[in-house]
Amino acid sequence: MNINQVHSYDELAQSISQNEKTFLLLYKSGAENSDCALERLKNMPLNRQGVLIADVNTVRDIHLRFQISTAPSLLVFEGNKLSNIFKGCQSETAYDSIISGRSIGATASMGGSPAKQVTVYSTPSCSWCTTLKSYLDQKQIKYREINVASDTSAAEAMVKKSGQQGVPQTEINGQMIVGFDKNRINQLLEIK
């Protein structure tokens, strides 16, 4: 993937004014979650649209301007307008969906039923989270990943939905699954 470093808000403003859609990863070099996000974006196919990156250790005006307090955060601009923010290290599948413009959620089944919305709540140090995400990737299920270790409001929302603090948790069309319950995941996603 074509990744370009920006060094100031002015440089970013110039770039977004020239493109219909722009992606900016705000990251903090040396932080595990940020390094994860940067590495996953670098592993994206080369023919994808370019992504801008800015290290908040050295670029001090971008995150303040958009009131971003979490790194990594992927900012999506449509023209000059900030249209979406994805916090935490996402899966390569999620980044591919975001950058290609496809919706994030499970693909429709062979019967043509609507796509399922899948969100995985995880932390970087959770081995079961990695197992769950690998399983979903293997089954080609698109999902949104939320790192609850770096996003306290998302962690609170997760606990409010499930009544549980442990991860992984998977939300499929509003139904919460605590842990890696493969049978329940397969049932809700209609995986045979």
Domains 3-100 and 118-189 share a fold: yes
- Domain 118-189 classification at class level: alpha beta
Q: Which fold has domain 3-100?
A: Glutaredoxin (3.40.30)
If we measure between CA atoms, which residue out of 172, 173, 170 comes closest to residue 146?
170
Residue ranges covered by each domain of the chain: 3-100, 118-189
Within 10 angstroms of residue 154's Cβ, the number of other Cβ atoms is: 18
pLDDT of residue 129: 92
pLDDT of residue 111: 46
Local confidence pLDDT in tens for the 192 residues of the chain: 578 999 999 999 998 888 888 999 999 999 998 999 999 888 876 555 668 999 999 999 998 888 888 899 888 888 888 888 888 888 777 787 778 765 444 444 444 456 688 999 999 889 999 999 989 988 888 888 898 988 888 899 999 999 999 999 999 988 999 999 999 999 999 888
CB burial of 12-24 (b: ≥16 within 10 Å; e: otherwise) equals: beebbeeeeebbb
**pTM for the full model?**
0.56
